[in-house]
Chains A and B, each alone.
Chain A
Amino acid sequence: MFRFLSGLGSYCMLLGKVFARPEKHSIYYRQTMKELVTLGLRSIGIVTIISFFMGAVITLQTAYNTENPIYPTYLIGLGARDSILLEFSSTIVALILAGKVGSNIASEIGTMRVTEQIDALELMGVNSASYIILPKVVATVIFNPFLTLISIITGIAGGWIVGTSAGVITSQDYIYGIQYAFIPYYITYALIKTVIFAFIISTISAYQGYNVEGGSLEVGRASTKAVVYSSVTLLLFNVILTQLLLS
C-alpha cells in the first residue's frame, strides 16, 4: 500500500514535469510529428486486421446465439454494431495498443535512461520529462480516436463481409440492422473512452521507462510492467467511465 501511494505520488510529480511550459515550441512540434508516425500511423495495420476479424467473429457469434425464428435477423447487425461501438473498438483496441505502444514507449524511454541520454538532456538544461514524454502523450491522445474510428469501420465491414459470405445474414438485413435504433452518443462515448485510455497508456508506460534503474534487463522488465499496469488501470477506468457516461 505504501509503495502504491509513493508510486502514485512520483507518477503525479512526473506528470507535473511533463506538462511544464515547453521551451521551444518548434522542437516540440517536430517531435510530436515524429511520434504521430511511430505511435500512430504504425498502429493502423494491426488495428485494422484485428478489428476486421473481431467484427467478423462478433457477427458470427451473435448469429449462432440467436438462431431463433422469433428474432428478426437484422438484430444480428444491430448486436454487432453495439458491441463494436460500446466495448470492442475502444477497450479491446486500447488493450492491444497498451501492448504495442506501451511497451514501445517504456523500452525507448528506459533505454534512454540507462544509456544516460536522459542525463545528457538534463545536463544541457532541457526538461527531459517534458521533451521526451509530452510529444508521446500528445501524439497518442490525438491519434487514438482515429484508430478507434478506423476500428469501428473495419469491424462493421468485417462483420458484413464474413456474415454475408457465411450466409448467416443478408446484406440488406445487416445494413438495416446497423442503422436500426442507432444512438450517435455511443460514438462520442467510445471516443471519450479512447482519449482517456490513450492518456493512461502513454503516461503509465512513460513513467515506467523514465524510472528504470540498472541495465537492459531492467528495461525489459519496465516494458512488461508498462503493459500490465496500463492494461489493469485501463480496465478499471473502463468500469468507472461506463458507469459515468452511460448511466
Chain B
Amino acid sequence: MIRAEHISKSFAGRRVLTDISAIFEPGKTNLIIGKSGSGKTVFLKCLVGLLDVDEGEIYYNDVPFTRLDFRGKKELRKQMGMLFQGSALFDSMTVEENVRFPLDMFSGMSHQEKIDRVNFCLDRVNIVDSNRLFPSELSGGMKKRVAIARAIVLKPKFLFCDEPNSGLDPKTSIVIDELIREITSELRMTTIVNTHDMNSVMENGEKIIFIEEGEKCWEGNRNEILKSDCSKLNDFVFANSLARQLKDSSGQ
C-alpha cells in the first residue's frame, strides 16, 4: 500500500500540485487520470522520490518514505519498478543487457541465474528471440514490453507506469494494459498507472484518481466514473463524441 498525504509541489514559484492525498491499494492497478499538463508525471515522480515534495508525506506500507535518508530511500527503491513514458531503455545496451542491468547492479546471482531470470521476464512479456537487438531496432510496443520486463526483473512490490500506452495503436495499448494488470495481480504489487486514455480507464480502473490542474477532484472506480456529478471529470471523460452518445443513451 502507498499512502500520499497532502502533497504539494511547485517549480520556481509555480504551483503544480496542490494538497493531494490518496491511498493506493496492493494487488490493484490504481489509475491516475487527467489531461496532459495536469501534473500526473510530477505526482508520480514525487511518489517515487525522483522529485522532492515541498509539503506532505508519503508512506510505503507505513514506512515514511519522505523522511528517510538517502540510504534508506535507496533501499526502498529496490522494491520499486517504473515504466517511463518513453520507455527509457538504455540505448547503448541490448535488450538482454537492459533487463539484466538491475540484476548486475544489485543481485549476487551467477551469470546463468541472471540469464534465466532475464529470459523468464522477457518471456512473460512475450518478447522472444530479441535478446541481441538494440532499443533502436524495436517498435514502440516492444520497447514498452522490454521496459516492463526490466521493471519487474527484481520482483518489485511497487510498480509505477507513466502513460504506458502513449504513442501506441489501440490494439497494442490493450495488450500493454492487460499485461500490466496481469503482472500486478501475479506479483501482488501495488501498481500506479498514469493515463489519459479512456479505454484503459474503462478496462483497468479498479481505483481511479482524477487530477485537474494539480488538484485531486475525484476518486472512485470505473463503474462510478460515468455517473459522477463532478463537472471537470465529466468534461474529461466525455471529451469525445462517442462517449457522450453513450452517456446520453444510457441516461434516457
Interface residue ranges, A against B (CB under 8 Å)? 23-24, 27, 34, 111-112, 115-117, 119-120, 122-126
Contact = CB atoms under 8 A, between A and B. Distances in A.
B105 A27 contact: yes
Given A123-B50, A123-B80, A23 B105 contact: yes
A124 B88 contact: no
Contacts of B85: 116
B86 interface: yes
B137 to A, nearest CB: 16
Nearest to B150: A120
A116 B78 contact: no
User: Which 3 A-B pairs have CB atoms at the shortest separation, nearest pair first?
Assistant: A116-B88, A120-B88, A125-B77
A8 B85 CA distance: 32
Contacts of A34: 92
Interface of B: 45, 48, 50, 74-75, 77-78, 80, 82, 84-86, 88-92, 101-102, 104-106
Majority secondary structure, B binding face: mixed
A24 B105 contact: yes
A131 to B, nearest CB: 9
A125 B84 contact: no
Given A119-B45, A120-B88, A125-B75, 4 more contacts: A23-B105, A116-B85, A119-B84, A124-B106
Contact of B104 (A24, A116, A117, A120): A24
B77 A117 contact: no
Nearest to B73: A125
A27 B104 contact: yes
Contact of B91 (A27, A117, A122, A123): A117
18 contacts: A24-B104, A24-B105, A27-B105, A112-B91, A116-B86, A117-B90, A117-B91, A119-B82, A119-B84, A119-B88, A120-B88, A120-B90, A123-B48, A123-B50, A123-B80, A123-B82, A124-B77, A124-B102
B74 A125 contact: yes
B88 A126 contact: no
